[in-house]
Amino acid sequence: MYETNAGSKNWFRALPKRTAEIIPLVRQAVELGADTIKADPTDDVAVYHKVIEIAGRVPVLVRGGGKVPDDEVLRRTEQLIQQEAAGIVYGRNVIQHAKLAGMTRALMAIVHATNRGQVNKNRSTKRG
């Protein structure tokens, strides 16, 4: 969908604006020696793997972003974790939820099932 030719210096410019802003910030965090990175979600969740690639061996935790419907939170979380995000850092979509415990359990199931390889069996082990 997006041109991601790593040989090109500006391959990220073909990405949506917000995504193209996040990637250089993650790269800078890595270059400054970050142990863990908390990064915003990208405009298109399907390209979050580019953020993970830029981070290399540094674990990336995804921020929750704005308030969205439950099904979108769960779907987006699964997609992000399948792209090897190390975890999630959500606020209002959990804390302000009418069924806080239920939403927490649902998100934990996605994160922990994926990290055990039950959701995405092709998950690499590049971070260790």
Phi, psi of 81 (to 5 degrees): -70, -35
- Is 9 a catalytic site residue? no
| The residue type at 38 | K
What the block records as the tokens of 41 is 């979600």
Separation between Cα atoms, residue 23 and residue 12, nearest integer Å: 8
Q: How far is it, in rounded angstroms, from Cα 55 to Cα 57? A: 6
d(CA 21, CA 108): 29
**Residue among 9, 17, 38, 121 flagged as catalytic:** 38
Residues classed as catalytic? 38
